[in-house]
């Protein structure tokens, strides 16, 4: 039998990916930036298992989520599933370790999650979420801080506004206000059907939206006797042409939502005041169309839109979203624990940066490659490498004395900026030639200290 017949074809599942060094370096660098910002606001890291009992993950989710979860029976006959986000496992974590945690508790968790949804641009079945959450307080301060820290992280990655042009906008709404509006409209029992239609309103023709909503209103509560009126009021409630100011839109929707709306609108006004005194209010908009489909949200909800240099929206979807979930832990414990959180979708953010042409790509973390011109001098090469590392320079020695054009080719593939060349005379003097591999400029007869200064400029 031919050996070739026994070989297994290397392949991966649809919606999953391998990452070559250039891509993984990009991901790692972005995670480092996000982590630094999260830590600067006082968030601490935790971790949870990839697998959870299925009833833990799905007790507070809608039917669509159940369809997307990777679920199976393990060898012990247990019904288990892979986490589809980091929020529900965090709720379980909080309940299980409640006596060990101080309140309010602020955590960040950057890890992979899995959803069996249809792969598309910026959306995969295995992806990384960069979460932050605060539990144990229902304060508007916590709502504001989540928005503020995510804004700061995006500033570091996408960039701040320049010449009045926004690089991104975080769009804010309140699920309490949304729920109250439909309750007072008489269609509270159909809200789980209404929200997906409104969420897709920009993706389908107006007549399709009208038909779907009319059908929902027709068979809903008896209070919704006037279907046309329900549709007209809904369109007015979600209306936003971008010209109405944040606070003015809140005032309008407070009136439209009806009795009981002030408590939600006052919370939004308080958050906005904090944005103003912090000088970050221009990065936020009040958008009545932000719904967030997961039904555990009860307070503020938000999504993020990227813009290109022309001010046009990048068609990638939200790269950062979240909201308040006042009693998610109520599924697992008697004590009510308020929470608010948000997440940067790393893979979608990378896809957006690629579309914007703002993705910095590197083939390695090296500053310097010491070329191997003579295999007998390898000890001298490592001496220089150690000296450069002690000065904070990332360096490696090319392992074999291959032809120089081969060494240059490998070094170029790793995007190393500097090269070190040493002949016998250099070694005897304790010096070497430092070459800028991009400009071809050479500095002859330098030592490690001088080379480090040039590299760090």
Tell me the pLDDT tens digit for each residue of 247-264. 999 999 999 999 999 999
pLDDT in tens, 80-115: 999 999 988 999 999 999 999 999 999 999 999 999
Q: Which two tokens stand for residue 338?
A: 């308020």
Report the pLDDT value the prediction gives residue 61, as an integer from 0 to 100: 58
Report the pLDDT value the prediction gives residue 222, as an integer from 0 to 100: 45
**How many Å from the N-terminal Cα to the C-terminal Cα in the chain?**
62
In whole angstroms, what is the distance from residue 38 CA to residue 58 CA?
28
8 A C-beta contact, residue 217 and residue 187: yes
In whole angstroms, what is the distance from residue 181 CA to residue 224 CA?
13
Q: Smallest Cα–Cα separation from 127: which of 285, 287, 349, 396? A: 349
8 A C-beta contact, residue 17 and residue 126: yes
Q: Which two tokens stand for residue 284?
A: 């936020």
Report the pLDDT value the prediction gives residue 60, as an integer from 0 to 100: 59
In whole angstroms, what is the distance from residue 441 CA to residue 271 CA?
54
In whole angstroms, what is the distance from residue 236 CA to residue 270 CA?
24
Q: Decide the pairing of beta strands 168-174 and 71-73.
A: unpaired
Chain centroid to CA 454: how far? 36
In whole angstroms, what is the distance from residue 418 CA to residue 420 CA?
7
Query: Cβ of 435: how many Cβ atoms within 10 Å?
Result: 20
Report the pLDDT value the prediction gives residue 286, as an integer from 0 to 100: 96
Cα–Cα distances (Å) from 255 to 204, 244, 312, 415, in that order, read 28, 15, 32, 59
Q: Decide the pairing of beta strands 44-45 and 105-114.
A: parallel
Q: What is the DSSP string of 268-314?
A: HHHHHHHHHHHT-GGGEEE-TT---S-TT--SEEEEEEEB-TTSPBP
Q: Which residue ranges of the chain lie beneath pLDDT 70?
A: 1-4, 60-64, 121-122, 219-225, 293-295
8 A C-beta contact, residue 168 and residue 307: yes
């Amino acid at each position: 039998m031919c050996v070739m017949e026994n070989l297994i074809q290397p392949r991966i599942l649809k919606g999953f990916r391998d990452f070559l060094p250039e891509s993984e370096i990009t991901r790692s660098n972005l995670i480092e930036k996000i982590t630094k910002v999260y830590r600067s606001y006082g968030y601490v890291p935790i971790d949870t298992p990839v697998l959870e009992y299925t009833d833990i993950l799905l007790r507070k989710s809608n039917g669509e989520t159940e369809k997307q979860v990777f679920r199976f029976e393990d060898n012990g006959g247990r019904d288990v599933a892979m986490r589809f986000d980091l929020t529900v496992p965090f709720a379980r974590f909080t309940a299980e370790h409640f006596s060990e945690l101080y309140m309010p508790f602020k955590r960040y968790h950057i890890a992979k999650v899995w959803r069996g949804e249809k792969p598309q641009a910026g959306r995969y079945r295995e992806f990384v979420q960069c979460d932050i959450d605060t539990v144990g307080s229902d304060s508007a301060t916590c709502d504001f801080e989540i928005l503020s820290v995510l804004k700061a992280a995006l500033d570091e990655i996408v960039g701040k506004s320049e010449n009045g042009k926004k690089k991104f906008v975080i769009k804010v709404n309140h699920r309490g206000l949304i729920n109250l509006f439909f309750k007072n409209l008489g269609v509270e029992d159909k809200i789980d059907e209404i929200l997906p239609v409104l969420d897709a309103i920009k993706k389908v023709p107006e007549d399709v939206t009208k038909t779907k909503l009319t059908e929902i209103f027709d068979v809903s509560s008896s209070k919704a006797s006037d279907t046309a009126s329900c549709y007209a009021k809904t369109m007015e409630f979600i209306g936003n042409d971008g010209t109405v100011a944040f606070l003015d839109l809140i005032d309008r929707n407070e009136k439209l939502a009806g009795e009981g709306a002030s408590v939600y609108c006052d919370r939004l006004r308080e958050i906005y005041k904090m944005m103003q005194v912090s000088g970050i209010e221009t990065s936020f908009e009040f958008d009545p169309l932000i719904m967030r489909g997961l039904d555990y949200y009860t307070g503020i909800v938000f999504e993020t839109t990227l813009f290109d240099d022309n001010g046009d929206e990048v068609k990638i979807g939200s790269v950062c979203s979240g909201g308040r979930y006042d009693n998610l832990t109520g599924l697992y414990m008697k004590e009510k624990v308020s929470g608010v959180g948000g997440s940067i979708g790393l893979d979608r953010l990378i896809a957006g940066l690629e579309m914007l042409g703002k993705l910095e790509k590197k083939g390695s973390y090296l500053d310097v490659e010491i070329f191997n011109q003579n295999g007998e001098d390898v000890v001298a090469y490592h001496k220089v490498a150690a000296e450069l590392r002690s000065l904070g320079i990332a360096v490696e020695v090319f392992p074999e004395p291959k032809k120089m054009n081969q060494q240059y080719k490998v070094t170029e593939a790793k995007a190393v900026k500097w090269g070190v060349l040493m002949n016998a005379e250099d070694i005897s003097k304790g010096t070497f030639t430092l070459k800028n591999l991009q400009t071809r400029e050479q500095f002859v007869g330098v030592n490690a200290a001088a080379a480090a200064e040039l590299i760090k400029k």
